[in-house]
Amino acid sequence: MATELRPNYDRVAHVPQSAKTVACGCTPEAHSRYCINNLSRGANLKATMVRTADLAQRERHASCMSRIASDQSREAFAELFEFFAPRLKSYMQRLGANASEAEELVQDVMITVWRKAEMYDSRQASVSTWIFRVARNRRIDAQRRTSRPELEPDEPMLQPAATELPDVAVARGQMEEKVRAEMANLPEEQLVLLQAAFYDGLSHSEIAEVYGIPLGTVKSRIRLAFARMRGGLDAPN
């Protein structure tokens, strides 16, 4: 008489937890450590959290500027001072100022924030971009005051610029218009960093410090912005 073969359900029931698989086919341990699906979701979640924090911070700083402009709020000014003063000092020192010069420049910049807060337009730039643009201009002014070398009358930079040919001027104007249009299509998270890098002259490390985001995030967003603009500029009309 043939022996009936039956599955050993007890064996199946006692398979170790680490040997069982999840939907993607990985064991739970491998899924949590190595699975590209799980890691991608984790990276996306982290990026979303960073973007949310960035936006909340920008909105908070813009609110402070509005309160300073409308109500001369000392609390709002104190909040901005606490956030920006150490970052501005570090920025000034990287531009060549010593510690005492940097502190004086920071005081000058923050006084400007207090006195001219009503000139800030949140539609044009973030508070960080606006303040660091003021800081850069103050540093340039300070350098001009302390070092004014004598220039020869025939110094090349004193000579008038050559007249631009009409076709060159038209081509340049068209390119500038296309660049502005492509920039307007960038996501805000990429646009503000691109402006900080090329309008305000901040390095990637300085942008990371100012906006409080990882250096790798700064580099990737600027790289994505370049790629997106290049694709738009290279596309046939």
CATH number where 205 lies: 1.10.10.10
Residues 190, 95, single domain; the answer is no
Residue 224: predicted pLDDT:
92
Residue 160 domain-assigned (yes or no):
no
Residues 41, 118, single domain; the answer is yes
Rounded average pLDDT over 22-47:
48
Lowest mean pLDDT across 120-129, 154-163, 191-200: 154-163
For the segment 92-146, what is each residue's pLDDT rounded down to a tens digit? 888 888 999 999 999 999 999 999 999 998 888 889 889 999 998 888 888 877 7
Residues 220, 124, single domain; the answer is no
Rounded average pLDDT over 163-189:
81
Residues 130, 218, single domain; the answer is no
* Confidence band, pLDDT 50/70/90 cuts, at residue 154: low
Residue 154 domain-assigned (yes or no):
no
In the chain, the amino acid numbered 77 is F
Residue 64 domain-assigned (yes or no):
yes
- Dihedral of the alpha carbons of 184, 193, 69, 104, in degrees to the nearest 10: -140
- The Cα 95–Cα 90 span in angstroms is 9
- Dihedral of the alpha carbons of 72, 78, 83, 85, in degrees to the nearest 10: 90
Residue 5: predicted pLDDT:
45
Residues 136, 33, single domain; the answer is yes
CATH assignment of the domain containing 43: 1.10.1740.10
Range ranked top by mean pLDDT from 12-21, 89-98, 144-153: 89-98
Residue 222 has which token pair?
């600027």
**pLDDT: which is higher, 150 or 181:** 181
- The Cα 93–Cα 82 span in angstroms is 18
Residue 208: predicted pLDDT:
87
Residue 74: predicted pLDDT:
93
Residues 116, 190, single domain; the answer is no
Lowest mean pLDDT across 20-24, 81-85, 148-152, 198-202: 20-24
- The Cα 103–Cα 109 span in angstroms is 10
Alpha helices (runs of H) in 72-98, residue ranges in sequence order: 74-94
Residues 110, 192, single domain; the answer is no
Residue 210 domain-assigned (yes or no):
yes
Residues 70, 132, single domain; the answer is yes
* Confidence band, pLDDT 50/70/90 cuts, at residue 49: very low
Residue 164 has which token pair?
């631009």
Rounded average pLDDT over 10-32:
48
Residue 8 domain-assigned (yes or no):
no
Residue 152 domain-assigned (yes or no):
no
Lowest mean pLDDT across 40-49, 85-94, 140-149, 155-164: 40-49
Domain, as residue range, for 235: 182-237
Residues 33, 116, single domain; the answer is yes
Radius of gyration (Cα) for the chain, nearest Å?
Answer: 28
Residue 49 domain-assigned (yes or no):
yes
Cβ neighbours for 135, distance < 8 A, ≥ 6 positions apart? 88, 91, 92, 105, 106, 109
- The Cα 120–Cα 69 span in angstroms is 9
Task: State percent of the chain over pLDDT 70.
Answer: 68
Residues 120, 189, single domain; the answer is no
* Confidence band, pLDDT 50/70/90 cuts, at residue 148: low
- The Cα 237–Cα 228 span in angstroms is 16
- The Cα 170–Cα 174 span in angstroms is 6
Residues 32, 139, single domain; the answer is yes
Q: How many CB atoms lie within 10 A of CB 151?
A: 9
* Confidence band, pLDDT 50/70/90 cuts, at residue 160: low
- For residue 181, pLDDT over 50 is answered with yes
Residue that terminates a domain, selected from 144, 165, 192: 144
Supply angle C-alpha 205, 206, 212, rounded to 5.
90
Residues 187, 134, single domain; the answer is no
Residue 151 domain-assigned (yes or no):
no
- Total domains in the chain come to 2
